[in-house]
Amino acid sequence: MQDIKAITVKYLMRITAVIAVLILVTAMVLQIVSRHSQAIASSENVFRQVRQLLSENSSELESVKEDYSRMCLHSAEAIAYIIQNDPAVLNDIEELKKIAEFCDVDEIHLFNEEGVIYNGTHPQYYNMSVNDGEQIGFFAAMLEDKNAKLCQEVMPNTAENEMVQYSAVWSRNGKFFVQVGMKPERVMKATEKNELSYIFTLLRANSTVALYAADIDSGIIKGSTTKENIGRNLSDIGIPVEKIHEGTSTFYANVNGKSCYCVFTVFESEYMMLGRVITNASMYQNVVTATVILTLGIVLISFFPVKTVSVYLDKIIISGIKKLNGELKEIAEGNLDRTADVRSCLEFSELSDHINSMISTLFSSTDKISYILDKANMQIGVYEYNENMKTVRFTDKTSKILGIAKDEESALRSDCISFRSYFKEHVKKTDIDGEEICRIDDGTDSGRYVKYEELPVKNGFLGIIIDVTEDVRARKQLENERDIDILTKLYNRRGFESRIREPLDKSRTEDIGEGALIMIDADGLKQINDRYGHKAGDLYLRGIADMIRAFGSCKKVSARLGGDEFVLFLYGYGSNESLFDDIDRLKETRNGTCIEVEKGVVVPVRFSFGVSVAEKGKNYSAMMKEADDKMYESKRVRKKLELNANHGLN
């Protein structure tokens, strides 16, 4: 029999894997370094192009502005000349508009010597003066020097917010000065060419590379190929400003939710930071492809020696492991009659013997547990079932607690579904003082009470069931003695409050429907005790209690609070009308009931009562006080009526 170590070639696979990993890591590092160098070189080239374009476009913009300013002034001079020589055009706005069109201007405004607009192509501006705003106020200097010629920078006009350049010159006679407005289309186009976003569109190579220009101090983005980021701070989109310094700065950052490689520089002359952001996915795309190709090559080279060893391992070891796994699977699923029998090598043979020994020990565990529990006289049962094998194993104590008959045990042990059905049918959950306990119907009035818990195990459950019948019976007896009045068998104050205080205090009137609390105080108890004795008084109280217990057409809770005081809580009524009908019947019942306090001696029932109707927001204490006050008021009225009746007789 061969030793398993002699037929294992795992070291060959490990060495091959280590070499492959080293080659792959080295190749990947070299490619990453190369990509970094390429990214920096291409970024620096872009930065140089941006500098050059900014310089060229700035020169062009200044030239265009100067040309446009001269044109604007020449147009104003020509219009001033025309109007001075033909004042009649001032009476015809359409003629002024033709002059504006002829001179290639958009607006004409005529100011008098006080700086007030008195004529022009746009009547809505008439009577405005150089004192009416910052934009028009620029031309206030015209009033100080009639030789002045002013040309304003391109800016949005006040009315339409359109970009306009205004210029103004005096007429030769000095009676008025002309202000003309021209839409500077060439200036705007030259300005657009000088905008960073426009320059970036010329230099952008692909959608995976973004360009950013930001203010050095604030980090606010002034231009970008990603237009929605313009106006935001670099930090807001994930670019750490603190990593950008003079020269070329490189770092990784999570920009707009994407992992990127960033290359930044600082343009001191333009007072801005310029950067190029490349997504890692695009930057390292070829790295991944090359790595995959290299990996495939290494795998192919390693395939033949590993395959040879694999065939040999499969023949000697793998087949034995598969067979042993199959046998262990059956055992794990509950088939403890199965044994392990793999003898392909020494180690498998020893492992099979140990598994079989373990199964033998496991077989005796259930019997040992049953024996220990029986000797300890503990009412605890244990069961386990496996759904794959359809079997159930349980101790003898489990059969006794669940009431399983001997002729049923065999069928239940062999079928877990039947066992579960039996369990659900006989074990019913109930609630005892807020504790979840199960009741088993064993044919007696009280039944048996158990607790059980199931722990999930592979393909089944392990259950523990504990007989707590004696504990529950003792608890119920104690509760009964604690909450029941001995004389009347009604609830005492404690028992009454424990049953109705919580729903009333929580204002859960929707749970009790229409209801009322009735305080009852027996009249004449002292006279009965004095005349017939306390035994007769007890009979009188019992009689009242029997009457209260039988009273009411819906749900009720009744109690003796002590002495001659009783309380009755009626609830579950569908309407107040039916509730008050029952309360009215209480008077009739009282007036028509007599109690035999001793042989041949019958006395009429007399008691006073007060009613408090259950309402939302009225708690137990409030209802008790209201009913008690009304009861004592009723007692005073009844006594007064009795006194008046007695005086009438006298």
pLDDT in tens, 7-27: 566 667 678 778 878 888 888
Please determine, for residue 335, whether its predicted confidence score (pLDDT) is greater than 60.
no
Q: What is the pLDDT of residue 368?
A: 63
Determine contact, residues 510/571, Cβ cutoff 8 Å. Answer: no
What angle is formed at CA 156 by the lines to CA 151 and CA 160, rounded to 5 degrees? 120
Q: What is the pLDDT of residue 237?
A: 92
- The one-letter amino acid at 163: M
How many whole angstroms separate alpha carbon 31 and alpha carbon 283? 11
How many whole angstroms separate alpha carbon 169 and alpha carbon 179? 7
**pLDDT band at residue 213 using 50, 70 and 90 as cut-offs:** confident
Please determine, for residue 128, whether its predicted confidence score (pLDDT) is greater than 60.
yes
CA atoms within 13 A on the CB side of 193: 17
Strand 272-279 versus strand 258-267 pairing type = antiparallel
Residue recorded with tokens 């670019």: 239
Determine contact, residues 99/75, Cβ cutoff 8 Å. Answer: no
The phi and psi torsions of 262 (rounded to 5 degrees) equal -115, 135
Number of CB atoms found within 10 A of residue 123's CB? 10
Find the mean pLDDT for residues 209-215: 88
Residue range 20-64, pLDDT digits in tens: 788 888 888 888 888 889 889 888 888 888 877 777 666 666 776
58-67, 255-264, 328-337, 470-479 — which one is most confidently predicted on average? 255-264
- The one-letter amino acid at 295: T
Q: What percent of the chain has pLDDT over 70?
A: 80
Of 8-17, 183-192, 207-216, 278-287, give the lowest mean pLDDT range: 183-192
How many whole angstroms separate alpha carbon 278 and alpha carbon 284? 10
Q: What is the pLDDT of residue 627?
A: 93
Find the mean pLDDT for residues 386-405: 76
Q: What is the pLDDT of residue 239?
A: 92
Residue of 529, 549, 531 whose CA lies nearest to 539? 529
Tokens of 451: 């607790």
Residue of 147, 154, 145, 161 whose CA lies nearest to 181? 154
Q: What is the pLDDT of residue 44?
A: 86
Q: What is the pLDDT of residue 332?
A: 60
Determine contact, residues 346/6, Cβ cutoff 8 Å. Answer: no
Residue range 522-560, pLDDT digits in tens: 988 888 899 999 999 999 999 999 999 988 888 889 999
Q: What is the pLDDT of residue 644?
A: 77
Q: What is the pLDDT of residue 3?
A: 54
Residue range 157-195, pLDDT digits in tens: 766 677 888 899 999 998 999 999 888 775 555 455 455
Please determine, for residue 266, whether its predicted confidence score (pLDDT) is greater than 70.
yes
Q: Locate all alpha helices (DSSP H) within 103-195, ordered by sequence.
A: 134-137, 185-194
Tokens of 345: 């090598």
Q: What is the pLDDT of residue 519?
A: 95
Please determine, for residue 2, whether its predicted confidence score (pLDDT) is greater than 70.
no
**pLDDT band at residue 333 using 50, 70 and 90 as cut-offs:** low
Helix axes 469-483, 493-505, angle to 10 degrees: 90
How many whole angstroms separate alpha carbon 509 and alpha carbon 491? 22
Q: What is the pLDDT of residue 247?
A: 83
102-116, 287-301, 305-319, 356-370 — which one is most confidently predicted on average? 102-116
Q: 244: alpha, beta or left, given left = phi > 0 and alpha = psi -120 to 50? A: beta
List Cβ neighbours of 270 (8 Å cut-off, separation of 6 or more): 54
**pLDDT band at residue 398 using 50, 70 and 90 as cut-offs:** confident
Please determine, for residue 263, whether its predicted confidence score (pLDDT) is greater than 90.
yes
Q: What is the pLDDT of residue 108?
A: 92
Q: What percent of the chain has pLDDT over 90?
A: 16
Number of CB atoms found within 10 A of residue 490's CB? 25
**pLDDT band at residue 264 using 50, 70 and 90 as cut-offs:** very high
Find the mean pLDDT for residues 376-388: 72
What angle is formed at CA 200 by the lines to CA 197 and CA 203, rounded to 5 degrees? 165
Residue range 577-593, pLDDT digits in tens: 898 999 988 888 888 88
What angle is formed at CA 564 by the lines to CA 559 and CA 569, rounded to 5 degrees? 30
Q: What is the pLDDT of residue 59?
A: 67
Please determine, for residue 6, whether its predicted confidence score (pLDDT) is greater than 60.
no
Residue of 224, 308, 218, 215 whose CA lies nearest to 267? 215
Residue of 454, 327, 457, 460 whose CA lies nearest to 389? 460
Residue recorded with tokens 């002045």: 148
The phi and psi torsions of 334 (rounded to 5 degrees) equal 115, -5
Please determine, for residue 261, whether its predicted confidence score (pLDDT) is greater than 80.
yes
Q: What is the DSSP string of 539-556?
A: HHHHHHHHHHHH--SSEE
* DSSP code, position 129: B
Burial of 610-624, coded b for 16+ CB within 10 Å and e otherwise, reads: bbbbbeeebebeebb
Please determine, for residue 75, whether its predicted confidence score (pLDDT) is greater than 70.
yes
- Strand, coil or helix: 583: helix
Strand 249-255 versus strand 258-267 pairing type = antiparallel
How many whole angstroms separate alpha carbon 60 and alpha carbon 113? 38
Q: What is the mean pLDDT of the chain?
A: 81
